[in-house]
Chains A and B, each alone.
Chain A
Amino acid sequence: MAQIYDYLVIGAGPAGMAAAIETSNAGLSVLVLDQASSAGGQIYRNLGHADKQQTSVLGSNYGAGKPLLECFMAANCDYQSSVQVWHIETHTKGFLVAAIVAGETKSFLTSHLLLAHGAMERPMAITGWHKPGVLTAGAGQILLKSSALMPKEVVLVGSGPLLLLLAQQYRVAGVAIKAILDTTPKSNYWYAIPWLVAGLTNPMELFKGLWLTLVQRIKIPYISGVSHLEVMGDEQVSGVKYTVSDRVYNIDCKLVMLHQGIIAQTQMAQMLRCAMVWNERQQCWQIKADVMGYTSIPGVQVAGDGGSIGGALLAQIEGRVAGMGRVFNTPVVSPWHKKWVYSWLRFRVKQLRWARGLVDRLYRPAEWLSKPADQTIVCRCEQVNAKTIRSIVNSGCAGVNQLKRFTRAGMGACQGRQCGLNLSHLVAQTQQRPMAEVEPLSVRPPLSPINLGQLAKSLRL
């Protein structure tokens, strides 16, 4: 019989690491499963092995993860890297998590589960985004962190803090940034003003953010108010076409990096049938959860950017809160002051989430980006364009899940990760309904591909 863990944490980013430290210190048996080859999540990716030169290019926020990472590595918990979770289900003993570890299938049992798998980039469906030579800004950062690879020349397109951070890092590393094409709608700046009060509760971050924005504007050809983007090229990228104040421009390039913020990943929670909510402020679906991370399914918690987007510091605090919540659920007697810490941290979670409102409002994605042009491929895997989707919805298709059956959009290998949100936008727009009323794309097993041999073996626990 397999061991039943007290706490199984999916993801070894700031949230997952903090939760694992908290629970294993209290004496619970903890297992952490992580997709990456080393702990740290996206923000502290490869931090344990990064070269000095890399760390200096990546900046101080990257190096700031060292103490947490060291504490996690020293914690008394089981940790497995390079793990692909392909299925999760409820089980008489709690939850069963099926994964592929080093090519072999393994199953784990746990009484409580923490989803700390982080977020993903908001898909940016512009015409030509599927051509070789288009990457995401997140990909650019991953290449820099894990592989110390950087483009010789690139055009950065979109909106959001990560895009500016990448610009800064690339500039320091000596990459020629041909231009930043900023899609942030000008009206966002006005709408964000009331949120300045919220931002001021986190003055250090606010200052850093302002500085980052200013520096890029001065040092890099910075074009704001960009719309109607199109990636040009036949077999691969040859340039980008864009519009500023009704004038059309072209810029030649072979590499483009896109970004328009990040959205929560909901696949695993959806598989467990956790309730979802539409978050209007962050413009994405989220796993419904309370401040302690408890979802609608007892025993399942969520922490970090996989729940509500808030960045590394908030993720770390949320992870700690989730871990403490788990410990208080056990007969383990915690020292008296822990209750105080717990209350304080829960307050911090609320405060930092509020402070995040400034970033959310300032970088809310431009509306035209959720209305792809007819010829734009929305579902990359099955090559379905916006025109097909619109016409099927117009002819009476009820929602995204029916749309999937009619057009195959969302049925491909990525499980709708790259198209799901845009499919919902298209359904909502065509049916003139608010997003909150439109369902998200449903998720089917396996969460990641598994071959028959592995599947056969997985039947033995």
Chain B
Amino acid sequence: MRRPLTVAKAPIDEVIDADHQLTRLVFAFITASAVWLVFGTLVGLYLSLKFRWPEIDHVPWLTFGRLRPIHTNTVFWGFASNGMIGLAYYVVARTSRQRLHSYKLGWISLALIQISVVAGDICLAAGINNGAQEYREYIWPVMALFAGALVLTCYNFYWTISNRTTKEIYISNWYIMGALLWTISLATIAYLPFYQYGFAETAIQGYYMHQGVGMWFTPMVLGLTYYFLPKLLNKPIYSYSLGVLAFWTQMVFYTMIGAHHFLYSPLPWWLQTVAILFSIGMLVTVVAGTANFLLTMKGSGHAVRNTYAVPFLLVGVVYYFVGSAQGSFEALRSLNMIWHFNNYTIGHSHITMYGFVTFLIWGGVYGLLPRLSGREARQLFIGMHFWLAFIGVLIYGVSLSIGGTLQGLSWLAGKPFEDSVTLMAPYWLWRAIGGTLMFGSHLLFAYNVWCMLPSKSRDEAVETYTEVPSAS
């Protein structure tokens, strides 16, 4: 049978006999993630409409300046973090061939994250924020809950890995543990106030903004992909050494480049220059990582055609390269001058956080969930999810990259400020159109996750099954 949007894909080949408690925990994280995605991007879509119709409402807690951090923090800490951590619980236990150290701590982490996102968003809507510093808008009592969840997760993973029954620590776990350790340190450094008075705040903000995306989301999804890609293709990763190289350069280079968010600011000139040099150096990391994934995929064209998870991974890997290469250019003084402060950066944020991070999470979810529950979502809907999201983010990225460049050039040419606002009108409209497609795909994603949830009867069956050996 021919389908309009998707080709028929092979059904899943195996149902993993994972332990039942782990399955439940993973599903809880992924469900939370899907809910936050729908909510967070509904807000994003609404924001994008406000650029066209600023008078759309007069409700104080729906004003742009309060909703924008709700959008960014919800998709960061609600959607992406839940999704990544949920998948990581499975990957860490699986690759260590060991039961998770503690399910209870897993559930507590899950609860802490949800509480922090709910509380954080309510505070933001009420105008209570941490000083309008991007991605650290949640006030510290709220962020402490989130950090607590990371500490518990990290502890849980550490002991699972320590007690592994395999010889090696699989490379995915380097990235996942690295991401957790880095982000815990990062959050602590960023939230301690003592050295952040006056302009010192900016030195920490550049560092924080960058490590937030570079030491949390990036290593997490890369680690997951090091597991899911070879697994779904049923072959080993192309090169372990490339992975090692990418890992260490990630840690050293990425940490150094936060100041590139404040080029030409009063930050010490040497710090800016260091940031630029390492931004270029990041090409090494990115090429190593991308090449490793693409070479693993080489010759597996059939998998892209025949499964629905691998196309998501392929798109994610390509966007990893595109977005990061774009970032390296943005860090050059001559180009940053034009692209800084305008919509080009918003384009970059979505090319990376959406094209790269979000697609890889989806790839993992579609790769894992049906195998855990034995229930598949409808292929048509997965296919539609893929194409709507793919075309949507393409429109988003291209329109803002063009519009942003024109904004920068208009400032450079000394045109009145007005021009840089009015010229954006068509591009903002395109962004809203792309955003609508993206949002539609998120509804489908949430529905698909629902379809993949384990059925009640199977649930109980497994329950009795797992209880038997533990009693013996």
Bound together: no
Measured CB to CB, the residues of A under 8 A from B are none
Measured CB to CB, the residues of B under 8 A from A are none
